[in-house]
């Protein structure tokens, strides 16, 4: 069993609390089977097989027992056992999952010994033992009793296999101090308020249907407008860089993905289609193999390069039902995908052009400065990737040099590369402090080889080309799950599905409200009227709930002055301007894609 990796104090705290939680659970329910309990972002979790049903009502009871254990100031003792004795130990405790873990370690790592970490009580007794590589606090007394909280429970299949036992996973939030825990809990409460599933339902942006199936979102007119406006902006930015639109089908023969390498690595994640004649097809999970065939349909000279293809199109992946989550994890999604087919000498300029698009887009929609992750391959696991070590070294060096030249805020992450090449992944922070990976640029050194893509060089010889993959939003569904929560549904004026709502004070003012509504529509403004049937206050609240940027209240004074009382929903300020002035400022803000509306 390999030694524990070097870990920091926070890792040790969270790892230790996973053991404390498991000890507490066994004290309360001694016949529970235990499995694994790793540290994760914001805390840890532990998977259990309970002999009885537990619920969230049991969380305080577990936490109380955990605090008792911590107050005892138990310590850890590390014991090294040969695998025979270790298996005998766990069989004696009837903990079958631990036995299976040891057998897997023997099979996969060819180990002869394993380590046990025992929680030693105040009288020197073994209070709890776990199979573990280590990384713990010296003494439980180091753990503040007010720095953790059990957050939730979920189902989890043992080893991620739906044919195996379904376990109960308990998630624990853990931080060095009470203040940091409370800050995290406050952030989670704000996240619940902003949950894109809740906001999307309130704003009538998208829905799901049991008849259509889980993970297959249906977009309403308002949601479709939002998608269209974002995608149109991405296309404007790409068009200015010389991209051309292409269109491909939604299915393909199996052979295309066998050639690309996707079939060998992802066959189980594809939707398979068999024709009446017995031919095997798949719903496309990505677009790059199709795009290679557009490039390959004719011989290309070096003078024809770069070829830049862009398309926004649906893709499909057979995700497990338990992993689906709103828009962020779906079975049917839409990619704003682009591929550049170019010579090696073009790579730097092409990547920098995409980088400029990414920076411009995310600044315009209201995200702050982007961090960059250079996602590299893991040299210790070459079987996960296509291509030779020399090819990977050359590609990764190219990306690193570009990041340095760009003076980017970047860090390197081995093991995060795509199986066909390294990536530049862009990371943003949303309005409540959560980090998300958004855009990506991928340098593909393998697909041109597998599809034999080349150009004819200046000497009339074949020259192997390279591919650059570029996604600005990536999956529109996933991007919008992030963006809806970032804005809490209060989109910039140019993106708002409804930009203005006319609110007549009473029935005599409805004709004037309708006249302005129609005038705004003719000028390309998305406007509606909220008629007088309900009270004025209720209609203003309805407009605010719908996150309509401008609410235009019109009564007798406004009719006489040909003006509108403009209520800015974001600032809550109200000003009276002429209809002409309102329209001019509105059109200027929309055409300039301004983040902040200039009226009110």
Residues 180-196 pLDDT 10s: 999 999 999 999 999 99
Same domain, 251 and 343: yes
Tell whether omega for the bond before 483 is within 30 degrees of 0, i.e. cis: no
Instruction: List all residues 6 or more positions away from 523 whose beta carbon is below 8 Å from its beta carbon.
Output: 583, 587
> What is the average per-residue pLDDT within 299-316?
97
Same domain, 555 and 507: yes
- pLDDT at residue 487 in the model: 96
Instruction: List all residues 6 or more positions away from 38 whose beta carbon is below 8 Å from its beta carbon.
Output: 15, 18, 44, 45
- Measured between alpha carbons, how far is 590 from 570 in angstroms, rounded to an integer? 16
> What is the average per-residue pLDDT within 271-296?
94
Residues 70-119 pLDDT 10s: 999 999 999 999 999 999 999 999 999 999 999 999 988 888 999 999 99
Say whether pLDDT at 57 is over 70.
yes
Annotated catalytic residue, options 317, 346, 547, 567: 317
CATH of the domain at 26: 3.30.980.10
Same domain, 432 and 283: yes
Q: Confidence band (pLDDT; 50, 70, 90) for 150?
A: very high
Q: Are 234 and 336 in contact (CB under 8 A)?
A: yes
In a domain, 271, yes or no: yes
Q: Are 495 and 520 in contact (CB under 8 A)?
A: no
Same domain, 405 and 345: yes
User: CA 185, 191, 193 angle in degrees (round to 5)?
Assistant: 110
Annotated catalytic residue, options 339, 478, 509, 567: 339
In a domain, 599, yes or no: no
- pLDDT at residue 354 in the model: 96
Please list the helix, strand and coil fractions of the chain in percent, rounded to the nearest 5, in that order. 40, 25, 35
Annotated catalytic residue, options 95, 335, 442, 546: 335
User: CA 424, 428, 434 angle in degrees (round to 5)?
Assistant: 130
> What is the average per-residue pLDDT within 164-169?
94
What percent of the chain stands above pLDDT 70? Answer: 99
- Measured between alpha carbons, how far is 572 from 235 in angstroms, rounded to an integer? 34
Say whether pLDDT at 384 is over 90.
no
- Measured between alpha carbons, how far is 327 from 122 in angstroms, rounded to an integer? 50
In a domain, 597, yes or no: no
Annotated catalytic residue, options 308, 423, 509, 547: 423
- pLDDT at residue 4 in the model: 45
CB atoms closer than 10 angstroms to residue 26: 19
> What is the average per-residue pLDDT within 290-318?
97
Same domain, 47 and 86: yes
In a domain, 2, yes or no: no
Whose structure tokens read 């994760």?
A: 40
Q: Are 288 and 447 in contact (CB under 8 A)?
A: yes
Among this protein's residues, is 279 annotated catalytic? no
Annotated catalytic residue, options 147, 288, 342, 455: 288
Ranges 108-117, 126-135, 377-386: which has the least confidence:
377-386
Residues 449-488 pLDDT 10s: 999 999 999 999 999 999 999 999 999 999 999 999 999 9
Query: Counting every residue, how long is the chain?
Result: 600
369 in helix, strand or coil? coil
In a domain, 355, yes or no: yes
Same domain, 357 and 278: yes
Same domain, 305 and 348: yes
Q: Which of 487, 515, 535 finishes a domain?
A: 487
Among this protein's residues, is 95 annotated catalytic? no
Among this protein's residues, is 317 annotated catalytic? yes
CB atoms closer than 10 angstroms to residue 166: 11
- pLDDT at residue 537 in the model: 93
How far, rounded to the nearest angstrom, does the alpha carbon of residue 298 sit from its chain's CA centroid?
38
- pLDDT at residue 7 in the model: 58
Q: Confidence band (pLDDT; 50, 70, 90) for 395?
A: confident
Say whether pLDDT at 33 is over 80.
yes
Q: Confidence band (pLDDT; 50, 70, 90) for 382?
A: confident
Among this protein's residues, is 469 annotated catalytic? yes
In a domain, 323, yes or no: yes
> What DSSP assignment string belongs to 134-162?
----SBGGGS-TTSEEEEEEEEEEGGG-T
User: CA 343, 348, 349 angle in degrees (round to 5)?
Assistant: 90
Same domain, 260 and 381: yes
CATH of the domain at 441: 3.30.930.10
- pLDDT at residue 261 in the model: 86
Nearest to 38 by CA among 5, 70, 83, 1: 5
Same domain, 476 and 347: yes
Whose structure tokens read 């193999």?
A: 289
| Mean pLDDT across the chain | 93
Among this protein's residues, is 423 annotated catalytic? yes
Same domain, 32 and 62: yes
- Measured between alpha carbons, how far is 561 from 580 in angstroms, rounded to an integer? 11
Among this protein's residues, is 244 annotated catalytic? no
What are the start-end ranges of the E strands in 422-476? 423-429, 435-444, 454-456, 462-464, 466-475
Q: Which of 174, 193, 212 finishes a domain?
A: 193
Domain extent for 554: 500-591
> What is the average per-residue pLDDT within 421-430?
91
Q: Is this prediction's pTM over 0.95? A: no
In a domain, 324, yes or no: yes
Q: Which of 173, 193, 213 finishes a domain?
A: 193
Same domain, 307 and 240: yes
> What is the average per-residue pLDDT within 324-344?
96
Same domain, 532 and 428: no
CATH of the domain at 510: 3.40.50.800
Give me the number of domains the chain comprises: 3
Annotated catalytic residue, options 377, 469, 539, 547: 469
Q: Confidence band (pLDDT; 50, 70, 90) for 2?
A: very low
- Measured between alpha carbons, how far is 371 from 368 in angstroms, rounded to an integer? 9
In a domain, 522, yes or no: yes
User: CA 4, 5, 8 angle in degrees (round to 5)?
Assistant: 115
Residues 179-238 pLDDT 10s: 999 999 999 999 999 999 999 999 999 999 999 999 999 999 999 999 999 999 999 999
Residues 509-532 pLDDT 10s: 999 999 999 999 999 999 999 988
């Amino acid at each position: 069993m390999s030694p524990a990796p070097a870990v920091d104090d926070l890792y040790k705290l969270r790892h230790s609390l996973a053991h404390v939680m498991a000890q507490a659970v066994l004290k309360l329910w001694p016949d529970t089977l235990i499995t694994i309990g790793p540290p994760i972002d914001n805390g840890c979790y532990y998977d259990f097989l309970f002999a009885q049903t537990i619920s969230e009502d049991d969380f305080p009871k577990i936490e109380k027992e955990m605090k008792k254990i911590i107050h005892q100031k138990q310590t850890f003792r590390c014991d090294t056992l040969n695998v025979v004795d270790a298996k005998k130990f766990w069989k004696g405790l009837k903990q079958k999952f631990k036995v299976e873990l040891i057998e897997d370690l023997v099979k996969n790592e060819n180990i002869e010994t394993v380590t046990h970490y025992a929680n030693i009580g105040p009288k020197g007794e073994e209070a709890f033992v776990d199979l573990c590589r280590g990384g713990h606090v010296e003494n439980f007394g180091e753990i503040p009793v007010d720095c953790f909280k059990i957050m939730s429970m979920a189902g989890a299949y043992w080893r991620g296999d739906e044919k195996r036992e379904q376990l109960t996973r308990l998630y624990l939030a853990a931080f060095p101090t009470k203040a940091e825990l409370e800050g995290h809990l406050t952030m989670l409460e704000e996240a619940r308020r902003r949950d894109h599933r809740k906001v999307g339902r309130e704003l009538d942006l998208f829905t799901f249907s049991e008849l259509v199936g889980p993970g297959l979102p249906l977009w309403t007119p308002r949601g479709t407008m939002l998608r269209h406006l974002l995608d149109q902006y991405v296309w404007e930015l790409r068009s200015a860089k010389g991209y051309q639109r292409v269109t491909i089908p939604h299915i393909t023969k199996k052979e295309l993905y066998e050639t690309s390498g996707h079939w060998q690595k992802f066959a189980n994640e594809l939707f398979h289609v068999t024709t009446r004649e017995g031919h095997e097809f798949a719903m496309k999970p990505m677009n790059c193999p199709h795009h290679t065939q557009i490039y390959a349909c004719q011989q290309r000279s070096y003078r024809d390069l770069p070829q830049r293809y862009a398309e926004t199109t649906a893709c499909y992946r057979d995700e497990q039902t338990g992993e689906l989550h709103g828009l962020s994890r779906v079975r049917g999604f839409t990619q704003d995908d682009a591929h550049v087919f170019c010579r090696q000498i073009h790579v730097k300029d092409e990547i920098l052009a995409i980088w400029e698009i990414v920076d411009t887009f995310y600044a315009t929609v209201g995200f702050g400065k982007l961090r960059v992750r250079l996602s590299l391959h893991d040299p210790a696991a070459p079987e996960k990737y296509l291509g030779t070590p020399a090819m990977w070294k050359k590609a990764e060096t190219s990306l690193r040099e570009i990041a340095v030249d760009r003076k980017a805020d970047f860090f390197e992450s081995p093991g995060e590369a795509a199986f066909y090449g390294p990536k530049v992944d862009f990371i943003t922070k949303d309005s409540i402090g959560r980090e998300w990976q958004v855009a990506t640029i991928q340098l593909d050194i393998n697909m041109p080889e597998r599809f034999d893509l080349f150009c004819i060089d200046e000497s009339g010889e074949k020259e192997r080309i390279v591919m650059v993959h570029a996604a600005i939003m990536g999956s529109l569904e996933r991007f919008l799950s992030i963006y809806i929560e970032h804005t809490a549904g209060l989109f910039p004026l140019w993106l708002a599905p409804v930009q203005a709502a006319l609110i007549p004070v009473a029935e005599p003012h409805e004709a004037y409200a309708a006249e302005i509504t129609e005038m705004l529509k003719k000028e390309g403004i998305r406007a509606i009227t909220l008629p007088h049937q309900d009270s004025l206050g209720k209609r203003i609240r309805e407009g605010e709930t719908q996150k309509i940027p401008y609410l235009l209240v019109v009564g007798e004074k406004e009719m006489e002055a040909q003006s509108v009382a403009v209520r800015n929903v974001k600032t809550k300020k109200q000003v009276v301007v002429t209809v002409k002035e309102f329209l001019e400022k509105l059109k200027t803000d929309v055409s300039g894609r301004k983040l902040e509306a200039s009226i009110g």
